[in-house]
Structure 1
Amino acid sequence: MTETQELDVRRLAPAQRHSTIFNTFFGLEKDGAFVLVNDHDPKPLYYQFAAEHADEFTWDYLENGPEVWKVRIGRR
């Protein structure tokens, strides 16, 4: 099993977060994944993935606040 990359976007400007996350996602191999670290529930990001890439991703909460959220995002 390979180590899963962690992408901590808490220090990025909000306008840079989604593009950075999607660039990381598109850089994954099939069945690859990374762990998103955020300072709020990234539910709007989930809805964007669901609308634009419905059958291409997986989404699993690993930590659910209140200060840090971690989500494992995988590519199918």
Structure 2
Amino acid sequence: MSTTTETEIDVRALPPGSCRNVIFRAIADLGDATALVVAAPHDPAPLREYLAVAHPDEFDWTYVEQGPDVWRVRISRVAG
């Protein structure tokens, strides 16, 4: 049985203008047994759309929490 390691980035705590670079860097660093949880004050659907276009079929996206105060999504690399 494999264990997945999760890292969480709470964009609400990041300086304005820095969250995109922090998230993209963390996504690029995802390995097979790691996941990134992104916490945001709104639905991060634009990030999902970006991943679908820029990296089709490379990442899995699961909503962990869907508002109203915080949205959390788990992003993991698709094995392959």
Q: Indicate the residue corresponding to 1:24 in structure 2.
A: 26
Deviation per CA, 1:12-68: give whole Å up to 9, x if none: 244221221110011111242111111110011111111101111010000000010
- Call closer, same or farther: CA 1:54–1:31 in 2, change over 3 Å: farther
**RMSD, matched Cα:** 1.4
List structure 1 runs of 4+ shifted beyond 3 angstroms. Answer: none
Q: Indicate the residue corresponding to 1:11 in structure 2.
A: 13
- Call closer, same or farther: CA 1:20–1:8 in 2, change over 3 Å: same
**Conservation of the 8 A alpha-carbon contact between 2:4 and 2:34:** no
Q: For 1:1-76, list aligned pairs within 5 A.
A: 1-76=3-78
- Call closer, same or farther: CA 1:57–1:2 in 2, change over 3 Å: closer
TM-score computed with the length of structure 1 as normaliser: 0.88
Percent identical among aligned pairs is: 43
Specify every segment of 5 or more residues in structure 2 that has no aligned partner in the other structure, as ranges.
Answer: none
Specify every segment of 5 or more residues in structure 1 that has no aligned partner in the other structure, as ranges.
Answer: none
Q: Name the larger-Rg structure.
A: 2
For 2:77 and 2:33, locate their aligned partners in 1 and report how far apart those are by CA, in whole Å: 5
